C-alpha cells in the first residue's frame, strides 16, 4: 500500500576544518630579542592548541548517501542499512545534512516507522526549496529532491489536520516531480492529494486518482500500488454514482482491473479486499444478489476484531436485502459484545428490519428501542467531540495571538535598539569630526552645537510622540484581545451548560440560535467581519446556509459537519454544492465553497 510520512529525531551536524601548524623564526639582537621572545612563544602555543582542537577535516559521507539513494524506493531496507552506517557527526556541510535528512525520512516512511517530529523533513524541504529556487532551477537532481521533500512535508501537515497547507504542498510535489520526471513521487503525490480533497470534492479526487494512474504507467513500480490506485478510483467513482444515481460502470471497471492484478500475482488477501469492494459497489447499485455473490467469496470474518464486526454486519445486510432472513439473524446475533456505538446501532437497526419482515411485534419494539438507545449515545458522543474541538480551536487561537504579540514586540524592540545605535553612533562620530576640525571658528562651532541641540530635542520629541502612539496601539490591541478572550470564555461556559442539559434531556441536543449567533460574532471578530459581509452581499441566505458557511470557514471536515446535522459526508457535500451553485451563484467546479468564502 502507499507510503505514510514518517520523521525521526534530528542529529547535530558538525563541520570540521583543516588547520596547519605555523612556525616562526625571528632574529633580533640585544634587548629587542629578549622582549619579544615571550610573545612569540605564546603565539606558537596558541596556534598549536587551535590546530589540535580543530583536528582533521571529516571524510565526506556522500558515497554512502549515494548508495542509499540508489536503493530507494525499490529496496528501502537496504537503504536504511546504508544510512545506519553513516556517522551524522561527520556529515560535511548543509548539502550532505539535507540529503541525509531526506533519505532518512523516505527510508523510515517506506519501512513503516512512526515519525517523532518534523525536524528532518523540514530541514530537507527548506534546504532544497532555497537551493532550487523553489523548483525553478535547471538542475533536475535539486528539483527532484525538492519534490520528494515536499511530498513528505505535505504528509506531515496532513497528519496534523492542516488540510489547506497540505494540499498546497502536495500540489508543489506534483508540479516539480513532473518537471524532474520523478514519476514515482508524482503518482504518490496525486494519490495523497486526492485523499485530502475527497471530503470536499469527490469528483476532483476521482480525477486526481485517474491522473495518478496515468503517471504510474511511466515508472516501474510495484503492482500493489497500482492495485491500490484502482481501489481508490473505484471507491470514489461509486460514491459519485450513488449520490447522482449513476450506472456504476466506471467504479466496476476500476474494481475489476484491480481484481485482474490480484489474480495474476496470486494475492489472496488483495483478492478478498477486491471482492469486498465489489460487494459494496453492487449493493449500492441495488444488485443485491451480485453483492451477496461476491461477499460469499470472502471467508467468514473473525468477529472478535473491529474489522470483523464491520464486515459481518455488511454481510448480514446483504442477506437481509436478498430476503435470507434466517441467515441474516444468525449473523446479526453472532457478536457477543460490540464496543463501537455506531456498530451497535447498525446491528440493532438490522435486527429491527428483520423483525419487521417477520412481523414479530415484541421483537420490533425491543430492537427499535435498542437502536434508539444506541443512536442517542452516538449523538451524545458527537456533542462531546464537538465541544472538545471548539476548546482546542480556542486554545490554539489564544496561543497564536500570544505568539503574534511577542513577535511584534520583539520587532519593535529591535527597531528601537537599532535606531538608538544609529542615532547616537552618528552623534558620536560627528562630535569626533567637530573636535578634529581646527579650521572652524568659535562662532561656527557654537552654531553647530546649537543646531545639534535643537535637532536632538526635535528627535526626542518625535521619539516620545512615536512611543506614546505605539503604547496606545499596543494597549488597544491588548484590550481587544482581552475582550475576545472573555467572549470565548462566556461561550465555553454556555456550551458547557448545553452539554450538561444534554445529559438530562435529549431534546437539548441541537444548538440554539443564540449559540450560532455567538459563534458567528466570534468569527467576525477574528476574521475581518467576513460573515457580515457575506450576509450583506447575499440577502437570500437562510440561517441554515449561514451556519453551513460558518462550519466551512472554520475548516470542519464533511464527517464532522455530518455529525452536527446527523447526515452522511456525501449528503454534506451535496448541501455544499447546492449552496454554492443555487444560492451563491458559483458555477466554476474548480472553485470550492471554502475558496469562495475566503474571497469575500
| pLDDT per position as a tens digit, 116-166 | 778 889 999 999 999 888 888 888 899 999 999 999 999 989 888 888 899
In this prediction, residues 510-536 reach a mean pLDDT of: 85
* 225-255 pLDDT tens trace: 999 999 999 999 999 999 999 999 999 999 9
The confidence score (pLDDT) of residue 288 equals 92
In this structure, is residue 61 part of a structural domain?
yes
CB-based contact 393:385 (threshold 8 Å)? no
Q: Is 304 exposed, middle or buried (0-12, 13-18, 19+ CB in 10 A)?
A: exposed
Q: Is 73 helix (H, G, I), strand (E, B) or coil?
A: coil
Is the pLDDT assigned to residue 218 strictly greater than 80?
Answer: yes
CA–CA separation, 218 and 183 (whole Å)? 6
- Tell me the range of 12-16, 24-28, 29-33 where mean pLDDT is highest: 29-33
In this prediction, residues 183-187 reach a mean pLDDT of: 94
Judgement on whether residues 472 and 573 belong to the same structural domain of the protein: no
Least confident of 38-47, 173-182, 243-252, 255-264: 38-47
The confidence score (pLDDT) of residue 507 equals 44
In this prediction, residues 449-466 reach a mean pLDDT of: 86
The confidence score (pLDDT) of residue 353 equals 82
The confidence score (pLDDT) of residue 378 equals 59
Judgement on whether residues 491 and 591 belong to the same structural domain of the protein: no
Residue 186: φ, ψ to 5°: -65, -50
Judgement on whether residues 396 and 539 belong to the same structural domain of the protein: no
Q: Which residue has 456525501 as its cell numbers? A: 570
- Domain boundary residue, one of 480, 508, 536: 508
CA–CA separation, 167 and 186 (whole Å)? 14
The confidence score (pLDDT) of residue 14 equals 26
Is the pLDDT assigned to residue 56 strictly greater than 50?
Answer: no
Is the pLDDT assigned to residue 368 strictly greater than 80?
Answer: no
Count of domains observed in the chain = 3
Q: How far apart are the first and last CA of the chain?
A: 41
The confidence score (pLDDT) of residue 356 equals 78
Alpha-helical regions (H) of 437-529: 442-504, 513-526
- Domain boundary residue, one of 442, 473, 508: 508
Length of the chain: 600
Q: Which residue has the higher pLDDT, 225 or 443?
A: 225
- pLDDT above 70 as % of the chain: 77
Residue 200: φ, ψ to 5°: -95, -30
Q: Which residue has 634587548 as its cell numbers? A: 31
Judgement on whether residues 476 and 568 belong to the same structural domain of the protein: no
Which candidate, 181, 259, 228, places its Cα nearest to that of 4? 228
Judgement on whether residues 544 and 411 belong to the same structural domain of the protein: no
CA–CA separation, 552 and 598 (whole Å)? 10
CA–CA separation, 391 and 384 (whole Å)? 11
CA–CA separation, 438 and 416 (whole Å)? 35
Q: Is 312 exposed, middle or buried (0-12, 13-18, 19+ CB in 10 A)?
A: buried
Is the pLDDT assigned to residue 583 strictly greater than 60?
Answer: yes
Judgement on whether residues 71 and 142 belong to the same structural domain of the protein: yes
The confidence score (pLDDT) of residue 385 equals 62
Domain range for 558 is 528-598
Res. 79 pLDDT band, cuts 50 70 90: confident
- pLDDT above 90 as % of the chain: 30
Is the pLDDT assigned to residue 501 strictly greater than 70?
Answer: no
pTM: 0.54
The three three-digit cell numbers of residue 277, written as one number: 469492494
Q: Which residue has 450538561 as its cell numbers? A: 500
Q: Is the dihedral of CA 532, 534, 535, 537 positive or negative?
A: positive
Judgement on whether residues 447 and 533 belong to the same structural domain of the protein: no
CB-based contact 368:545 (threshold 8 Å)? no
In this prediction, residues 35-61 reach a mean pLDDT of: 45
CATH number of the domain encompassing residue 194:
1.25.40
The confidence score (pLDDT) of residue 273 equals 93
In this structure, is residue 355 part of a structural domain?
no
The confidence score (pLDDT) of residue 176 equals 94
Amino acid at each position: 500500500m502507499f507510503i505514510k510520512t514518517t520523521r525521526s529525531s534530528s542529529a547535530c551536524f558538525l563541520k570540521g576544518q583543516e588547520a596547519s601548524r605555523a612556525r616562526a623564526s625571528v632574529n633580533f639582537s640585544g634587548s629587542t630579542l629578549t622582549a619579544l621572545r615571550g610573545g612569540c612563544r605564546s603565539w606558537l602555543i596558541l596556534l598549536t592548541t587551535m590546530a589540535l582542537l580543530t583536528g582533521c577535516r571529516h571524510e565526506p559521507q556522500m558515497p554512502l548517501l549515494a548508495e542509499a539513494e540508489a536503493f530507494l524506493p525499490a529496496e528501502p531496507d537496504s537503504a536504511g542499512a546504508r544510512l545506519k552506517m553513516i556517522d551524522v557527526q561527520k556529515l560535511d556541510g548543509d548539502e550532505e545534512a539535507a540529503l541525509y535528512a531526506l533519505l532518512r525520512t523516505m527510508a523510515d516512511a517506506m519501512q513503516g516507522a512512526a515519525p517523532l517530529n518534523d525536524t528532518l523533513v523540514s530541514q530537507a524541504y527548506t534546504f532544497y526549496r532555497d537551493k532550487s529556487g523553489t523548483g525553478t532551477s535547471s538542475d533536475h537532481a535539486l528539483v527532484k529532491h525538492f519534490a520528494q521533500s515536499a511530498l513528505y512535508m505535505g504528509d506531515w501537515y496532513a497528519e496534523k489536520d492542516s488540510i489547506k497547507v497540505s494540499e498546497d504542498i502536495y500540489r508543489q510535489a506534483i508540479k516539480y516531480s513532473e518537471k524532474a520526471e520523478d514519476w514515482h513521487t508524482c503518482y504518490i503525490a496525486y494519490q495523497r492529494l486526492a485523499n485530502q480533497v475527497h471530503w470536499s470534492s469527490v469528483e476532483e479526487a476521482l480525477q486526481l486518482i485517474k491522473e495518478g494512474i496515468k503517471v504510474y504507467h511511466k515508472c516501474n513500480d510495484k503492482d500493489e500500488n497500482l492495485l491500490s490506485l484502482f481501489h481508490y478510483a473505484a471507491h470514489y467513482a461509486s460514491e459519485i454514482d450513488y449520490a447522482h444515481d449513476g450506472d456504476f460502470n466506471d467504479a466496476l471497471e476500476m474494481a475489476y482491473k484491480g481484481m485482474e492484478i490480484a489474480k495474476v500475482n496470486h494475492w489472496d488477501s488483495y483478492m478478498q479486499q477486491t471482492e469486498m469492494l465489489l460487494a459494496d459497489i453492487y449493493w449500492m447499485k441495488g444488485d443485491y444478489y451480485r453483492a451477496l455473490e461476491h461477499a460469499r467469496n470472502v471467508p467468514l470474518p473473525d468477529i472478535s476484531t473491529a474489522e470483523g464486526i464491520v464486515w459481518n454486519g455488511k454481510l448480514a445486510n446483504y442477506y437481509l436485502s436478498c430476503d435470507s432472513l434466517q441467515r441474516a439473524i444468525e449473523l446479526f446475533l453472532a457478536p457477543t459484545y460490540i464496543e463501537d456505538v455506531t456498530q451497535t446501532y447498525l446491528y440493532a437497526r438490522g435486527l429491527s428490519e428483520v423483525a419487521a419482515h417477520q412481523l414479530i411485534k415484541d421483537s420490533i419494539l425491543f430492537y427499535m428501542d435498542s437502536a434508539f438507545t444506541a443512536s442517542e449515545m452516538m449523538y451524545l458522543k458527537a456533542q462531546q467531540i464537538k465541544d472538545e474541538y471548539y476548546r482546542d480551536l480556542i486554545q490554539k487561537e489564544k496561543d497564536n495571538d500570544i505568539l503574534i504579540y511577542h513577535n511584534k514586540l520583539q520587532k519593535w524592540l529591535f527597531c528601537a535598539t537599532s535606531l538608538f545605535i544609529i542615532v547616537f553612533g552618528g552623534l558620536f562620530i560627528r562630535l569626533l569630526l567637530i573636535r578634529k576640525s581646527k579650521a572652524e571658528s568659535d562662532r561656527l562651532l557654537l552654531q553647530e552645537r546649537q543646531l545639534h541641540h535643537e535637532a536632538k530635542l526635535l528627535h526626542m520629541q518625535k521619539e516620545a510622540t512615536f512611543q506614546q502612539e505605539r503604547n496606545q496601539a499596543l494597549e488597544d490591541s491588548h484590550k481587544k484581545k482581552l475582550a475576545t478572550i472573555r467572549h470565548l470564555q462566556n461561550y465555553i461556559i454556555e456550551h458547557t451548560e448545553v452539554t450538561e442539559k444534554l445529559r438530562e434531556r435529549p431534546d437539548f441536543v441541537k444548538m440554539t440560535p443564540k449559540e450560532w449567533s455567538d459563534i458567528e460574532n466570534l468569527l467576525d471578530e477574528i476574521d475581518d467581519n467576513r460573515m457580515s459581509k457575506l450576509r450583506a452581499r447575499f440577502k437570500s441566505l437562510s440561517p441554515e446556509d449561514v451556519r453551513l458557511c460558518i462550519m466551512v470557514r472554520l475548516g470542519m471536515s464533511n464527517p464532522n459537519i455530518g455529525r452536527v446535522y446527523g447526515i452522511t459526508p456525501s449528503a454534506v457535500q451535496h448541501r455544499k454544492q447546492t449552496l454554492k451553485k443555487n444560492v451563491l451563484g458559483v458555477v466554476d467546479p474548480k472553485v470550492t465553497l471554502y475558496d469562495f468564502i475566503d474571497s469575500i
